[in-house]
């Protein structure tokens, strides 16, 4: 019986291949999208270069250890995580809302394959991976400079690198869970534009080292975005594991946070799965 | 063996009554007003293996909703259904691999890619053996005459060609049950004819059980021995196409051509006059007195030609629908 | 003259009504747009604290204190509310591409004037709803405006810079859209414009922070009048004698883009009708 199930990996590869074939038929468009993604990214880098120019070798937040090279690792991680989300999930979630709006969602239910899988992976926006490449470049520059600096050079081993990618995967999963849950609510609310904005503005909080929130009422934001909507750990945990801005780390920044990140990933995944199936259930009972 | 069995199938859904204005729509977040729509109200139906059944009914009669219930896209409010021994809305993969739904107004092929690529995706999702896949694809493209279009992006195809491609996508996994919702809608006459011919031949060879909804009576007349008329979510009629006439039409249309200048001045005793184009007259005569009236007409007048016809099917069915509406309102 | 004014009034009114239908989305969207300000506040808080080695009060970056910086971001939101023209250039280009532009050749209505009224209506409708979220946020953040209200002259200059910012934004984007007569797809051009405008208008950070060669470039471009200039005026970063000169340059840019858009429209239409649509 089990060999009757579709092989998800092979289905996904077919999806990815089809998306690539499609993007290659509109090559100019693909190129423009790559360039535009990279330009925004470079602008982002420019902004921080200006800030670090004024910081004059001081860290981004007092006593946090996020100096320019450490922060390059952080910024690179942001680009890597968000480019993966952008490439693999964003087009699908947008398509999902569109399917709900046009009523074409029905077709998805007919296929003998997991509905959430089909909706989450049907398309790949290959051009978004341009920023993945940018991220790898900046990551290399940051890590290279950190490991070769004369003052207290960073030493990395294979375990650090593997852990880094593991937590990048966790971060992507958390963002995916948040995104699919938000998209699923458009079954109830009927429109998605404000939801898309909401996603953008909420995830914006995750793009900064969490130390910047560690003051006055920022603590409540820190609590909210670490424990309720755990987007602060998406970038912070992997970037911290690789760049190690503080050696040794503070009490809550080390092992407890890394352990919590795994728990948060699992909980997010389970919740999003529940929200998704609940939304579909209500779609099926509510539509004609 | 019955492939489809419906018992008292009912589907009621709620429509949110949206109100105008900011305050009202803010209020709508907390307290909403709904209206219940009874799309399907207690349908009983059994379909045997290899039958080709047509669903007829005006827009909003519940045809598409029934097809969606049968394909498990939506859940019913009450009632039971079994297709191939499965409950459709349990959405078992084993069931989903054995049927297909084609909707004339929706497309499921990748718009910017050649249909071939979408088919390959289907092959993965439905786990069709490569040899089987090649054979079926070859057969279907041959039957529909679209073999050379496989490598053309779908967006460059005509509506008729696209519909053929959609049909192939739905039939690649050789479904045992096929639901067709308006498969010929918007197609030109030739494309309609082609699709119809294809369906007829395909069904004849494969003995697939097919449920079809269509607005074109020609589709129905060409393809289906059995017709189910649905109005207001209920079955009004279930039987042969010819049976509709017997049951719902009490008249026949009699056209008489009289000998030059021999046309009688008053024909009202024989039946209702529909059209007078001397020397021809078209009469509507009650079904049970046709023979008797014709006999007396032929004996009293000099008639050159006679034809007796059934009234047009479209009219009869439109009549059934409006009757159903009236009885519901009463 | 009266008839003409009446026509314009009708266009304005219809556009206004159309806009107000979506006011619920507007209010919510505007409030959400302030969310990134929160991260900006904490980011700069941390930066200033780091520069001041633990104390925010004494730290300065390019003559900006921490409260100045927050006030600056809030004020650029106001500036952008006037000068940003979402969908204007792409809308013009689309109308040219789809041939919808024909209606301005047939009907006795001037296209640029029509677009202008549409945009004014769009903005008025936007302000009428957005004023509440704006007022709320400014009230909550009143502590960052350490100097209190500026003097009447500065305030007048601030208001004029906002209105001039609207005109500049409008004619600049219209000109970009009208390039659609020559290139059917202006989206990549528009993208380059948006990119530069985001970075060099002062939307992303106060332009005073830019190092040497860049700040000269920024002074030569019209972009800074769209976000940086009004905020700098309000915060008293522009000296009295500089103020008049800068406003003069802004007006000059507007005049330039008015003439440019007129010219492009004339040339574009003759090219369009020359090709027979």
Region B158-168: what's the mean pLDDT?
92
A47 touches chain C (CB under 8 A): yes
| Partner B contacted by C262 (CB < 8 A) | no
Burial class of residue B309 (count of CB atoms within 10 Å of its CB; 0-12, 13-18, 19+) = exposed
List CB contacts (< 8 A) between A40 and chain C. 195
Distance between CA C142 and CA C148 in Å, rounded? 8
The predicted pLDDT at position B91 comes to 86
Residues of A in contact with C51 (CB under 8 A): 54-56, 58
Which residues in chain C are closer than 8 Å to B25, comparing Cβ atoms?
A: 24
Query: How many domains, in total, are found in chain C?
Result: 1
In this predicted structure, which of A124-128, A248-252, B26-30 has the lowest mean pLDDT? B26-30
Question: Does A29 reach chain B within 8 Å, measured CB to CB?
Answer: no
Determine contact: A103 vs chain B, CB below 8 A: yes
Which structural domain, as residue segments, surrounds residue C188? 2-274
pLDDT-derived band at B327, boundaries 50, 70, 90? confident
Q: Which two structure tokens, joined as six digits, stand for B98?
A: 């054995």
- Give the mean model confidence (pLDDT) for residues A134-152: 93
Question: What ipTM was predicted for this assembly?
Answer: 0.88
On the question of pLDDT at B25 being above 50, the answer is no
Q: How far is B106 from chain A (nearest CA, A)?
A: 7
Number of neighbouring beta carbons within 10 Å of residue A148: 10
Average pLDDT over residues A1-10: 68
Rounded mean pLDDT, C27-43: 82
Residue A2 pLDDT: 44
Is it the case that residue A4 has pLDDT exceeding 70?
A: no
Tokens of B281: 């007259």
Tell me the average pLDDT across C147-173: 93
When scoring A54, A182, A223 by the number of chain C Cβ atoms within 10 A, the one with the most, hence best to mutate, is A54
User: Which of C271 and C70 is assigned the larger pLDDT?
Assistant: C70
- Chains touching chain A through at least 3 C-beta pairs below 8 angstroms are B, C
Q: Which of B10-14, B25-29, C94-98 has the lowest mean pLDDT?
A: B25-29
Higher pLDDT, A163 or B299: A163
If phi > 0 it is left, if psi is from -120 to 50 it is alpha, else beta; for residue B145 that is left
Asked if pLDDT for residue A247 goes beyond 80, the answer is no
Partner-chain residue, chosen from A201, A211, A212, that has the shortest CB–CB distance to C35: A201
Q: Is B26–C23 a contact, with Cβ atoms under 8 angstroms apart?
A: no
* Rounded average pLDDT over A229-256: 84
| Average pLDDT of chain B, as a whole number | 86
Which stretches within chain A are classed as H helix?
8-25, 27-55, 68-88, 90-102, 105-110, 115-121, 130-148, 158-189, 193-203, 218-223, 232-243, 255-286
Which CATH architecture group holds B250-309? 2-Layer Sandwich (3.30)
Mean pLDDT in residue range B35-55: 91
Across A185-212, average pLDDT: 81
CATH no. of B2-10+43-245: 3.40.50.300
For B39, which of A26, A107, A288 is closest by C-beta distance?
A: A288
Please indicate if any CB of chain C lies within 8 Å of the CB of A36: yes
Mean pLDDT of chain A, nearest integer: 88
Instruction: Label residue B268 by pLDDT band (50, 70, 90).
Output: confident
What average pLDDT is seen over chain C? 86
Kindly state whether A194 is in contact with chain B, defined as any CB-CB distance less than 8 angstroms.
no
Q: For C176-196, what is each residue's pLDDT tens digit?
A: 999 988 887 778 888 888 888
- C39 to chain A: which residues are within 8 Å by CB? 204-205, 207-208, 212
Strand, helix or coil for residue A239: helix
DSSP A91-130: HHHHHHHHHHHHTTHHHHHHSSS-HHHHHHHS---GGGGH
Confidence of residue A252 (pLDDT cuts 50, 70, 90): low
Of C187, C256, C189, C186, the closest CA to residue C221 belongs to C256
Cβ <8 Å between C23 and B22: yes
Q: Is the pLDDT of residue B197 over 70?
A: yes
The pLDDT tens digits of the residues spanning B58-70 come to: 877 888 889 989 9
- Looking at per-residue confidence, does B302 or C176 come out higher? C176
pLDDT of C6 above 80: no
- The confidence score (pLDDT) of residue A1 equals 40
CA distance C51 to C60: 8
Confidence of residue C123 (pLDDT cuts 50, 70, 90): confident
In the predicted structure, residue A193 carries a pLDDT above the cut 70: no
* Higher-pLDDT residue of C95, A85: A85
């Amino acid at each position: 019986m089990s060999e009757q199930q579709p092989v998800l990996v092979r289905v996904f590869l077919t999806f990815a291949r089809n998306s690539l074939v499609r993007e290659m038929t509109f090559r100019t468009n693909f190129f423009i999208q790559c360039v535009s993604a990279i330009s925004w990214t470079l602008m982002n880098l420019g902004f921080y270069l200006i800030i670090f120019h004024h910081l004059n070798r001081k860290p981004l937040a007092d006593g946090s250890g996020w100096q320019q090279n450490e922060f390059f690792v952080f910024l690179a991680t942001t680009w890597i995580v968000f480019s993966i989300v952008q490439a693999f999930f964003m087009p699908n979630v947008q398509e999902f809302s569109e399917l709900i709006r046009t009523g074409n969602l029905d077709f998805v239910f007919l296929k003998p394959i997991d509905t959430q899988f089909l909706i989450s992976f049907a398309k790949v926006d290959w051009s978004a991976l341009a920023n993945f490449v940018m991220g790898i470049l900046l990551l290399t520059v940051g890590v290279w400079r950190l490991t070769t600096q004369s003052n207290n050079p960073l030493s990395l081993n294979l375990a650090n690198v593997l852990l880094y990618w593991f937590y990048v995967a966790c971060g992507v999963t958390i963002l995916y869970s948040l995104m699919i849950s938000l998209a699923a609510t458009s079954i109830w609310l009927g429109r998605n534009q404000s939801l898309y904005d909401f996603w953008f503005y909420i995830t914006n909080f995750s793009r900064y080292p969490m130390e910047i929130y560690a003051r006055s009422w920022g603590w409540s934001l820190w609590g909210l975005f670490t424990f309720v909507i755990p987007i602060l750990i998406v970038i912070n945990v992997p970037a911290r594991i690789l760049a190690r801005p503080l050696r040794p780390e503070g009490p809550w920044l080390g092992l407890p946070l890394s352990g919590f990140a795994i728990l948060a990933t699992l909980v997010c995944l389970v919740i999003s799965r529940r929200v998704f199936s609940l939304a579909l259930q209500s779609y099926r009972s509510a539509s004609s | 063996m019955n492939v489809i069995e419906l018992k008292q199938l009912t589907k009621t859904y709620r429509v949110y009554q949206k109100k105008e204005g900011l305050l009202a729509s803010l209020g709508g977040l907390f307290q909403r007003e709904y209206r219940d729509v009874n799309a399907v109200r207690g349908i009983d139906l059994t379909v045997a293996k290899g039958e080709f059944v047509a669903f007829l009914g005006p827009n909003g009669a519940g045809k598409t909703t029934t097809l969606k219930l049968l394909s498990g896209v939506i859940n019913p409010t009450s009632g039971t259904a079994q297709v191939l021994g499965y409950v459709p809305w349990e959405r078992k993969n084993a069931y989903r691999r054995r049927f297909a739904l084609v909707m004339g107004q929706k497309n499921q092929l990748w718009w910017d890619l050649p249909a071939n690529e979408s088919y390959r995706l289907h092959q993965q999702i439905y786990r069709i053996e490569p040899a089987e896949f090649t054979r079926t694809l070859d057969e279907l493209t041959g039957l529909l005459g679209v073999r050379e279009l496989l490598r053309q992006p779908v967006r460059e195809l005509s509506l008729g060609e696209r519909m053929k491609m959609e049909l192939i996508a739905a039939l690649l996994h050789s479904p045992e049950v096929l639901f067709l919702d308006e498969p010929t809608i918007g197609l030109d006459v030739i494309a309609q004819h082609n699709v119809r011919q294809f369906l007829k031949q395909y069904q004849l060879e494969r003995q697939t059980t097919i449920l079809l909804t269509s607005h074109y009576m020609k589709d129905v007349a060409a393809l289906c021995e059995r017709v189910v008329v649905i109005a207001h979510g209920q079955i009004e009629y279930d039987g042969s196409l010819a049976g509709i006439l017997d049951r719902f039409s009490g008249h026949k249309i009699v056209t008489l051509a009289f000998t030059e200048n021999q046309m009688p001045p008053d024909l009202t005793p024989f039946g209702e006059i529909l059209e007078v184009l001397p020397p021809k007259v078209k009469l509507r005569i009650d079904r049970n007195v046709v023979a008797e009236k014709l006999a007396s007409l032929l004996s009293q007048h000099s008639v050159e030609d006679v034809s007796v016809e059934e009234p047009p099917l479209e009219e009869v069915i439109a009549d059934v629908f409006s009757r159903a509406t009236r009885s519901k309102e009463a | 003259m009266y008839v003409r004014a009446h026509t314009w009034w009708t266009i304005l009114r219809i556009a206004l009504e159309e806009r107000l239908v979506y006011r619920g989305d507007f209010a919510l969207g505007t409030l959400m747009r302030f969310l990134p300000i929160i991260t900006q506040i904490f980011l700069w808080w941390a930066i200033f604290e780091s520069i001041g080695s633990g104390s925010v009060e004494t730290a300065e970056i390019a003559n900006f204190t921490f409260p100045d910086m927050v006030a600056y971001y809030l004020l650029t939101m106001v500036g952008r509310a006037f000068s940003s023209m979402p969908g204007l250039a792409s809308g013009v280009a689309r109308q040219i591409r789809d041939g919808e532009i024909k209606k301005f050749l047939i009907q006795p209505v001037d296209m640029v004037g029509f677009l202008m009224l549409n945009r004014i209506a769009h903005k008025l409708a936007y302000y009428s709803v957005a004023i509440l979220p704006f007022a709320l946020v400014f009230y909550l953040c009143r502590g960052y405006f350490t100097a209190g209200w500026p003097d009447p002259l500065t305030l007048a200059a601030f208001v004029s810079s906002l209105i001039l910012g609207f005109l500049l934004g409008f004619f600049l984007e219209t000109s970009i859209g009208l390039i659609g007569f020559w290139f059917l797809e202006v989206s990549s051009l528009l993208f380059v414009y948006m990119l530069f405008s985001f970075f060099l208008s002062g939307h992303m950070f106060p332009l005073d922070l830019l190092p040497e060669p860049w700040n000269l470039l920024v002074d030569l471009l019209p972009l800074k009048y769209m976000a940086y200039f009004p905020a700098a005026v309000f915060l008293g970063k522009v000296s009295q004698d500089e103020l008049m000169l800068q406003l003069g340059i802004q007006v000059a840019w507007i005049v330039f883009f008015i003439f440019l858009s007129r010219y492009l429209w004339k040339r574009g239409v003759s090219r369009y009708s020359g090709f027979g649509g």
